[in-house]
Structure 1
Amino acid sequence: MSLSITLATMQDVTAIHSLTSQLGYHADQEQSRQWLHQMLHSDSHTVFVAKRDELTLGWVAVEKRLFLESGFKAEITGLVVADVERRAGIGRALVEQAKEWATVHGLTELVVRSNISREHSHLFYQRIGFHHQKTAHQYQMELPVLSF
């Protein structure tokens, strides 16, 4: 019954996809498979999963990012814990694993962005030691799909 945090594998894609949908994202499973494959084969990304008794309860994705204005940082680009498992320490354990990965990769800062509508996550991040740095607007533009 103990929680384990391990590197994700392609065998985790179904569970990762299911958990991702709990955040309100609607990629299909094939897209999730392709994106996970890319992340698992990247020198700049990693994905960890939290499991108990072979049941995947959450995941965290971390990226080593280079900013021209501030250098290298680790960024949590996604974190989700199963609805029924929240407030049980799983999110904290996943963030701790992300911190360890960042430290091993020589990074001295870990950042995370959280949608303004996810008030419960703001409280979570502050509770575990993150400090609110800024509020920003995100703009998006659709680009044409090129076929080769």
Structure 2
Amino acid sequence: MIDVRKARLEDHAMIYRLGQEALGYEIDQEFSQSRLAAVLSKPANQIFVAFVDGEPAGYIHVQDYDVTYAIPYKNILGLAVFDQFQRQGVGKVLIEAAEDFARADGAAGIRLNSGEGRHGAHLFYEAAGYERVKSQVNFRKAF
């Protein structure tokens, strides 16, 4: 059985491990915990966590995509499922939780970006009804 609920700070270890193992982000655990606390304190953010028979399975992070040039959407900033729970409906249930939240909050839809080499993720999103809209180049300047 897959259970989904809003994330709490005590879900930090699961979200941190997923960031490391499933998404490949190498950050300090204490920093990660402080970022989770900050994210959870902002109403524009929503994180849902999933458990399979009580075992941590995955999470999805959704944020307002509120810009001057488009109707309000939600933006999926992260979706990760532990390997042992992939292809068991966890990602689908998490996407549905995000979509329900977006509808209830008055968003016109959901958008997301996915890394160029994440072909399995692209197939998953397409199977969930998401359409490929465009390719982009991502720029960053660190301070």
Query: TM-score w.r.t. structure 2 length?
Result: 0.96
Q: Which has the larger radius of gyration?
A: 1
Aligned residues: 142
Helix, strand or coil at the partner of 2:48: strand
Tell me, in whole angstroms, the C-alpha distance in 2 between the residues paired with 1:30 and 1:73: 31
Q: Hey, what does 2:47 align to over in structure 1? A: 47
User: Does the aligned pair in 1 maintain the 2:71–2:108 contact within 8 Å?
Assistant: no
Query: Which range moves more in the overlay, 88-97 or 50-59?
Result: 50-59
Helix, strand or coil at the partner of 2:106: coil
Q: Are 1:74 and 2:69 an aligned pair?
A: no
Q: Hey, what does 2:3 align to over in structure 1? A: 4
Give unmatched runs, 5+ long, in structure 2. Answer: none
Alignment of 1:76-95 (within 5 A): 76-95=76-95
Backbone CA RMSD of aligned residues = 0.9
Q: Hey, what does 1:21 align to over in structure 2? A: 20
Letter in 1 for 2:82: A
Per-residue deviation, 1:13: 0.2
Alignment of 1:90-109 (within 5 A): 90-109=90-109
Helix, strand or coil at the partner of 1:88: coil
Per-residue deviation, 1:104: 0.9
4+ aligned runs moved over 6 Å, structure 1: none
Tell me, in whole angstroms, the C-alpha distance in 2 between the residues paired with 1:90 and 1:4: 9
Tell me, in whole angstroms, the C-alpha distance in 1 between the residues paired with 2:52 and 2:84: 13
Give unmatched runs, 5+ long, in structure 1. Answer: 144-148
Describe the superposition over 1:58-98 as per-residue Cα deviations: whole angstroms up to 9, x where unpaired: 00000012112113210110000001111111001000000
Tell me, in whole angstroms, the C-alpha distance in 1 between the residues paired with 2:134 and 2:47: 26
Per-residue deviation, 1:54: 2.7
Describe the superposition over 1:40-73 as per-residue Cα deviations: whole angstroms up to 9, x where unpaired: 1111001000012332100000001211211321
Per-residue deviation, 1:39: 1.5
Query: TM-score w.r.t. structure 1 length?
Result: 0.93
Per-residue deviation, 1:6: 0.4
Task: Give the percent of matched residue pairs that are identical in Structure 1 and Structure 2.
Answer: 28
Tell me, in whole angstroms, the C-alpha distance in 1 between the residues paired with 2:17 and 2:91: 17
Helix, strand or coil at the partner of 1:77: strand
Describe the superposition over 1:8-31 as per-residue Cα deviations: whole angstroms up to 9, x where unpaired: 111110111001102110111112
Q: Are 1:120 and 2:107 an aligned pair?
A: no
